[in-house]
Amino acid sequence: MAKEKCKKNEDELERRRIARREKYKRIKSDPEKYAIERAKKKEAYLKRKIEQKVKNINEMSPREQRAQRKRWRENSKRYLKKKAKERQIKEVTIISQVLEGRGKININDKEVSDPLCEENTKEEINNEINHRTFQRKIKALKLKHATEKKEMTLLIKKYKNRCRILTKILNKMKQNKAYTGSEENIALSTQVPIETSSCHDGTQKTTSEQVILNKIS
């Protein structure tokens, strides 16, 4: 009995999910209803944020951050798979359109394939696929170049600021050195030589500081 109830509940939930999806598709097809739905969702999100039910990644604990990042990765993988499928469907539709347009000739309501046209269409299809792949690669390279350019500009700015700071420090050091050197020159110029008589060697020129030291000794 319990298993049957579980199965019934699961079936009911699945039915409700399908109904919700269909309802959302109908709303999404109508732009006015879709705009109203988006506004409602935004209001609900802001209300939850005010009530602090929704946290930013910085406000979460490390464990919650890991779980949130894991969810983001899964969502991004799902989104990329969806986009890849859409691209494949587009390519298939383009190929079918080209084949219908140029690769087949209707004779008495019967489709007859022309070999020359088929070869041309194959070449065109391959060229178009290559062109699309190259466009995707160019787009990816442009994005990479833009990110690298931003990083390099930031590094250059940091380097310039560092150089400016170092030049200021060097200028201050030079100014201090020049100031101390001028003080030493002034002190040396104030020292006047004094003649003192010695016992055997004659006269000797000594400074005032030496005289004071001799007196103290």
pLDDT at 107: 37
pLDDT at 140: 86
Strand partners, 113: 104
- Does residue 195 sit in helix, strand or coil? strand
Which H helix or E strand runs over 107? Answer: strand 104-107
Residues of the chain with pLDDT under 50: 104-116, 192, 194-206
pLDDT at 129: 77
Retrieve residue 108's tokens. Answer: 């008495």
pLDDT at 112: 41
pLDDT at 110: 39
pLDDT at 108: 40
Question: What are the Cα distances from residue 116, in Å, to 105, 131, 190?
Answer: 12, 23, 109
